[in-house]
Amino acid sequence: MSLVDPSRVAVTELGFGEVTRYARHLSLPGFGLEGQKSLKASRVLCIGAGGLGSPASLYLAAAGVGTLGVIDFDVVDETNLQRQILHGSADVGRKKTDSARERLLDANPNVSIEVHDVRFDSSTAMDIVKSYDLVLDGTDNFPTRYLSNDVCVFLKKPLVYGAISRFEGQCTVFAPHLGGPCYRCLFPEPPLAGTVANCSEAGVLGVLPGIIGVLQATEAIKLLAGAGDSLLGRLVHFDALKAKFREFQLQRDPDCPVCSASPKITAPVDYEVFCSSAKNSKSMNANIPEITVEDLKARLDRKENLVLVDVREPFEWDITRIPGAVLIPLGELPSRLSELNPADDFVIQCKSGGRSANAVQFLQQHGYSKVSNLAGGILAWSDRIDPSVPRY
């Protein structure tokens, strides 16, 4: 059965052009005119117009979802284009919501596009989600993932979940009100800051969000049209290198902090300060001494006695580096402490300042007193000191 309110489907008609456009749906057994009218009557929110949101929203628009909400706060960056096919080369620097709206309306002008160019946080999430029938999670960060889960549990909206990393991805449907688990049934609390690499640090095969995002769109369409068996209570995992799909059964946690009979969490929570995101490194690192890229440049020019330690991974070092730095990847730091003299003056640097802040903390705990974090990392160095250093 479709999860769209039947009274809305009953008053929905397809126009002449729509009958032609959706002809291949109308002839599908178990879908047909009723399924198409349900899609047209439905309202779907896509959180994120990035890797997963791009293919998912394009297929949802093409399929004839009546109203598609797109929420994103970012602008298009050149490093997005390898996988975020909503956006083209000419869109670099534009708001993602602007290029998304144009591309989706071109795919299907019958769809009403609602863009939300705001930060999805505890103050905005409930209001945005409540008017939609279903939410598709296309985010790559933990604060938004936990927030969208909790808000969907509170408002009884199915959440079509997708996640990708490197060569692997997974997809499922979270909907405790329909009998399945929620995200917190599996992972009750977010990971500690700095313990999980985000997409930009870990890398991702460009076609992978295409596969997972289209799986998400498929699940959304099935739920909206009332067709087939959804991934409720099942998680599909895809390994691109092995070309293998595997399925896992998921159970509800009777002690889940948000969807159990006696939940501990009953209102939206912002996890920004706890989670691993370069944008948040400032707030979580209040007690960590920082140095700006301008200060570092001046000190290097004066040939001051300082040791610049780069804690990124070797593949990042191969892409680019700051002259004079020494490479000690964060994971090797504990075993290579003997290479660092506690009497020296250290500046620690990574890509954007998150991992290096953890390294500074670690060194402080091990008796290094003259350690500071390079704010903004090598990206800030590229922005403000040396534009020949490539951004990645």
Task: Compute the radius of gyration of the chain from its Cα atoms.
Answer: 23
| Comparison of 187 and 315: residue with beta carbon closer to Zn ion | 187
Least distance CB 256 / Zn ion (angstroms): 3
- 173 scored as a contact of Zn ion (CB under 5 A): no
Least distance CB 263 / Zn ion (angstroms): 8
Nearest 5°: CA angle at 111, between 110 and 113? Answer: 140
Number of neighbouring beta carbons within 10 Å of residue 361:
17
- Out of 87, 101, 157, 184, point to the residue binding Zn ion (CB under 5 A): 184
Stretch that binds Zn ion, among 108-116, 202-210, 214-222, 251-259 (CB under 5 A): 251-259
| Comparison of 120 and 183: residue with beta carbon closer to Zn ion | 183
| Comparison of 22 and 146: residue with beta carbon closer to Zn ion | 146
Distance (Å, whole) CA 301 – CA 304: 8
- 259 scored as a contact of Zn ion (CB under 5 A): yes
- CA-based max dimension of the chain: 79
Binders of Zn ion among 98-127, rule CB under 5 A? Answer: none
Nearest-CA neighbor of 48 among 191, 216, 169, 258?
Answer: 216
Stretch that binds Zn ion, among 22-30, 137-145, 183-191, 240-248 (CB under 5 A): 183-191
Distance (Å, whole) CA 268 – CA 258: 10
Residue of 199, 256, 259, 275 marked catalytic = 199
- 128 scored as a contact of Zn ion (CB under 5 A): no
Phi-psi map region of 235: left, alpha, beta (phi>0 left; psi -120 to 50 alpha): beta
- Show the tokens assigned to 264: 């501990």
- 175 scored as a contact of Zn ion (CB under 5 A): no
Residue 135, classed as helix, strand or coil, is: strand
CA distances (Å), origin 104, targets 22, 36, 100, 212: 16, 18, 6, 19
Distance (Å, whole) CA 284 – CA 357: 9
- 152 scored as a contact of Zn ion (CB under 5 A): no
- 256 scored as a contact of Zn ion (CB under 5 A): yes
Residue of 152, 171, 256, 350 marked catalytic = 350
- 185 scored as a contact of Zn ion (CB under 5 A): yes
Least distance CB 157 / Zn ion (angstroms): 14
| Comparison of 153 and 211: residue with beta carbon closer to Zn ion | 153
Nearest-CA neighbor of 52 among 85, 93, 81?
Answer: 85
Stretch that binds Zn ion, among 8-16, 78-86, 184-192, 360-368 (CB under 5 A): 184-192
- Binding residues for Zn ion, rule CB under 5 A, total 5
- Out of 129, 182, 205, 224, point to the residue binding Zn ion (CB under 5 A): 182
Residues near Zn ion, by CB under 5 A:
182, 184-185, 256, 259
